[in-house]
Structure 1
Amino acid sequence: MEHKESAKLFAQAKQFIPGGVNSPVRAFKSVGCDPVFISRAQGAHVVDADGNDYIDYVGSWGPMILGHAHPKVIEAITRTAASGCSFGAPTALETQLAQMVCEAYPNMEKVRMVSSGTEATMSAIRLARGYTGRDKILKFDGCYHGHADSLLVKAGSGAATYGVPTSPGVPADFAKHTLTATYNDLGEVKALIAANSGDIACIILEPVAGNMGCVLPQKGFLEGLRALCTAEGIVLIIDEVMTGFRLAYGGAQERFQVWGDLVCLGKIIGGGMPVGAFGGKAEIMDRLSPQGGVYQAGTLSGNPLAMSAGIATLSLLKEEGFYQQIEEKSAYLEQGLRQAAGRTSLQTCFQRVGGMFCTYFQNGPVDNFAQAAQSDTDAFGRFFRKLLDQGVYIAPSQFEAGFMSMAHNRDDLDRTIEAAERAFAAL
């Protein structure tokens, strides 16, 4: 495939936008090529500026579970836009979507809408600190919760050390309040809590880690965190920005039957529009301004276009059999990819839960970030490029999950498996 127009657009973008992109992974640096610029999308396909058509497993990084440009979502956005795009004042749409979210998540008695997943996690952490009167937080290596200062932190030299910044511009004084543990290592969490008794406001995690590929919680891990938080008065924040309404209508918490004190949402609840949300127990949420003293605000929070797209999307997800169909499509793709890789001598590991999946170029299983980092990223980059040349668009990073949509059909899946078989063989 030729990408002359994309190359031209990328060169122009780099003159005015840092790195030519507005989010780093879009630059395709980790897969050894320049990005394709998308001009339009429909269903399970995206089309680039050169007219190349791709079967899409990025899905705008998760929101497009219905597929692109679903007519009912587009109609809802169009109808709402005709009455105005933003008011900076309450609308009935906000309450309608909030009610739908609270009904899907029984542990969310109240919810506040924001404009991004980063804003949701940042606000939830502030709220947890205000509620508990404690400063420290605990996160896990490889779990991504947005780019707020206190979350751009990696592990120090030992299990009981403070975190260190992973980005210039993050003061060490901020990072010292962030403790880091290994995902799926409950013993490490216990040691950190014991070493910081009475000082930890919250534990935040992705229930399925989608930013180091696709890493599932081991049996007992989520349950153990829930028990520890309850015993120690720590707020458990479950970041379902990616998994919310994807792994089940009630997200990963419904699937694994472990419930957080606070929950962060995004992506699917906006139907492709910029959106985020955080919610939980009324006792905690009522600490937010204007009812309580913990301040949080946003001009575009509860934007009517995002609310209408979210309402339309969630209404369709409630239809009988929706998640069973996503499961069946994903299982079919998984089986095909496993068989294709198995006909080669390549070391690969395919991990999936529901409509989230990842192919690691190493022997598995992968249970944490240190193990994920052992993957052959050069091999993944070559695999990505060979798929792209055959019209299959997967996440341009070894450490990002792929996503299934309802719009993918059997022909899409078969073509993907055939393309993967050729790509594996070429490697």
Structure 2
Amino acid sequence: MTDANRTLFERAQLVIPGGVNSPVRAFGSVGGTPYFVDRSDGPYVWDADGRRYIDYVQSYGPGILGHAHPVVLEAISVAASRGTSFGAPTEAEVVMAEMVVERISGLESVRFVSSGTEATMSAIRLARGATGRPGIVKFAGCYHGHGDALLAAGGSGVANQGLTGCDGVTAGAVADTIVAPYNVVPELDETVAAVIVEPVAANMGLVAPAPGFLEGLRTACDASGSLLIFDEVITGFRLARGGAAERFGVTPDLWCFGKVIGGGLPVGAFGGRWNVMEHLAPLGGVYQGGTLSGNPLAMAAGRATLELLDDGAFDRLTATAARLADGLATAFNDAGLDAVLPRVGSLLGCFFGDVAPTDFDEAKVLADNGIYPKVFHALLDRGVALAPGAYEALFPSLAHSDEVIDETISIAVEAAAAVVAGLG
């Protein structure tokens, strides 16, 4: 990595733990010095030395339109000119809530927060309050933010750091958390308040739901009186206009959202049926609040983003992801690198092995075999940025044209050849 990035990283480490504000950004699992982004546009980012990268991180999901979309920037500018935060309700919150409710079949009420972590923490508290039960079931490799009760067997940054747990999370905090294997329907009893799941597991690379898995969770929750929570922080408004629930035809009791609905600004949301949401204060006894919840800048950016995401946009995005997945798989395998790139809609993962994983244990074998860091750096050196961790998904955007995808594939051919030569 070049001098300006290295200098910034050295400065950052003096004043920020590890030099970053989210662990995966430190390049700990791939090695080397992180690049520091100076600016962005569409499918590209430029680092502190002015070097351009084709970016498939896209802020880990929010950049569905590509970076710095002019319509979104204009919406933010107009909103900012009226003030950045009021601590009072605004029409923008109402409009955004109406848009979410209209798009998500079965969701009748929504509450905005400032992050995906807040959304999942609040949904868990709400489920416990609504059912009067303590237990939570989650799945190994699914990441639901950094709330204590949900860090058990987490994917994403937890897995990238090689952590089996998290210091500071007490036994009491996870005493009511049950961890099950992904793609296995667990047995539920009357102590389980909720089952929370990523409908597509996008924090252990990418693991698709097996046929019948989501349907089985719905049936099991109905039988036990437990609530089913879809964590759609990644999949929401990305897989379809109505998210994963629309794509798979399974309706949960509660949803969690983030990323896309903020247009690149900090935001989260959770929502569901009225007979569950009415337990929230000020209507009910489950407290949740936040100074910046529903802030006008995020609401403006989110509205502008959703207005651009019609059905045609999702079709185009899916086609882009398919072109990328097929091209990378061919580039890697033709070079002699066994690779699988599982894809669900516009989300894809990148594993180096023979068969796509179906759960966290299988994903770990492929993610930890030492190939991904080599491919990551070979691509980065040639101007293509993937996430600096094998447990993250790739996020092509609507700004990634066929020409950009084809350039990526050509670079991947060169990178794969270099990796194979180095392995030899």
TM-score (structure 1 length as normaliser)? 0.94
Q: Which residue of 2 aligns with 1:345?
A: 336
Q: Spell out the pairing of 1:2-401 with structure 2 (5 A cutoff).
A: 2-154=1-153, 166-186=165-185, 189-190=186-187, 193=188, 197-318=189-310, 320-375=311-366, 376-401=368-393
Q: Deviations over 1:323-380 (max 9, x none)?
A: 1111111111122112112213322211111111111012212111000000144210
Q: 2 CA distance for matches of 1:419 and 1:137?
A: 45
Are 2:339 and 2:354, in contact at CA under 8 Å, matched by a contact in 1? yes
* Residue type at the aligned position of 2:346: G
Distance 1:233 1:165, change over 3 A: farther
Equivalent-residue separation in structure 1 for 2:142 and 2:8 (angstroms): 32
8 Å contact kept, 1:395–1:402: yes
- 3-state DSSP of counterpart to 2:403: helix
8 Å CA contact 2:382–2:415 kept in 1: the answer is: no
Displacement, 1:165?
7.6
Rounded Cα–Cα distance in structure 1 between residues aligned with 2:401 and 2:230: 32
SS at match of 2:350: strand
Secondary structure of 2:349 counterpart: strand
Letter matched to residue 27 of structure 2 = F
Q: 1:279-313 deviations in whole A, cap 9, x for unaligned?
A: 00000001000010000000000000000000000
Q: In 1, distance between residues paired with 2:346 and 2:58?
A: 11
Q: Look up the SS of the partner of 1:268 in the other structure.
A: helix
> 1:31-72 CA distances to partner (integer Å, 9 max, x unpaired)?
111110000000010000000000010001000100111111
Tell me by how many angstroms 1:425 deviates.
Answer: 1.7
1: CA distance, partners of 2:33 / 2:363: 24
Corresponding residue for residue 422 of structure 2: none
User: For residue 158 of structure 2, what is the aligned residue in structure 1?
Assistant: none
Query: Is the partner of 2:29 in helix, strand or coil?
Result: helix
- Considering only aligned residues, what root-mean-square deviation do their CA atoms show, in Å? 1.2
Preserved CA contact (<8 Å) 1:119 1:276: yes
In structure 2, distance between residues paired with 1:32 and 1:397: 10
More displaced 10-residue stretch of structure 1: 363-372 or 109-118: 363-372
Q: Distance in 1 between matches of 2:326 and 2:204?
A: 22
Instruction: Give the aligned residue type for 2:62.
Output: P
SS in structure 2 of the partner of residue 30 of structure 1: coil
Does the CA contact (< 8 Å) of 2:115 and 2:268 recur in 1?
Answer: yes
Deviation at 1:214, TM superposition (A): 0.7
Q: Is the 8 A contact 1:64 1:272 kept in 2?
A: yes
Distance 1:34 1:210 in 2: 25
- Partner of 2:230, secondary structure, is strand
Is the 1:165–1:171 contact (alpha carbons within 8 Å) kept by the matching residues of 2?
A: no
Match of 2:157 in 1: none
1:410 corresponds to 2:383? no
The amino acid across from 1:24 in the alignment is P
CA distance in 1, matches of 2:100, 2:62: 15
CA distance in 2, matches of 1:201, 1:321: 38
Shift of the alpha carbon at 1:174? Answer: 1.4
Alignment-mate amino acid for residue 243 of structure 2: G
C-alpha contact 2:335 2:413 (8 A) present in aligned 1: no
Amino acid at match of 1:31: V
Distance across 2 between alignment mates of 1:391 and 1:342: 21
- Equivalents in 1 of 2:379, 2:124: separation in Å? 39
1:308 is paired with a residue of what secondary structure?
A: helix
* Corresponding residue SS for 1:341: helix
Alpha-carbon distance in structure 1 between the residues aligned to 2:135 and 2:331: 46
Aligned AA for 1:182?
P
Measure, in 2, the Cα distance between the counterparts of 1:336 and 1:217. 23
Unmatched tracts of structure 2, length 5 or more:
155-162, 420-424
In the alignment, structure 1 residue 420 sits paired with structure 2 residue 412 = yes
